[in-house]
Amino acid sequence: MKRVRTINRDVFNQLARGVDLNYPDGTLVRAKDNAKTYVIADSRKREISPEDFKALLYRERNVKIISDRLLAQLPEAGPIRLAAGDLHTAG
């Protein structure tokens, strides 16, 4: 029983496309030519300031560099901010 079908390019181009990859919560991402770092939470990117990045003991070696296109495709939520030692979110 053959389950592989060949389709032409026009049919292929009509197929819906989504984000290339899903990152688990807590993943740190940054685009190659973008200074902003984001934390993935609930499948959304949330900007984190350099000060909060350091305060939360994140490490540069754990930041995944992704394409500008992929970063733009990730839905955005409010930034992550620290206030009085407590983690809270803006927006």
* Tens digits of residue pLDDT in 42-72: 889 999 999 999 999 999 999 999 989 889 9
pLDDT digits (tens, 9 = 90+) for 6-20: 888 887 777 766 555
Beta carbons of 65 and 21 less than 8 angstroms apart: no
Q: Which residues pair with 40 in a beta bridge?
A: 45
Q: What is the distance between the alpha carbons of residues 57 and 74, in angstroms, rounded to a whole number?
A: 24
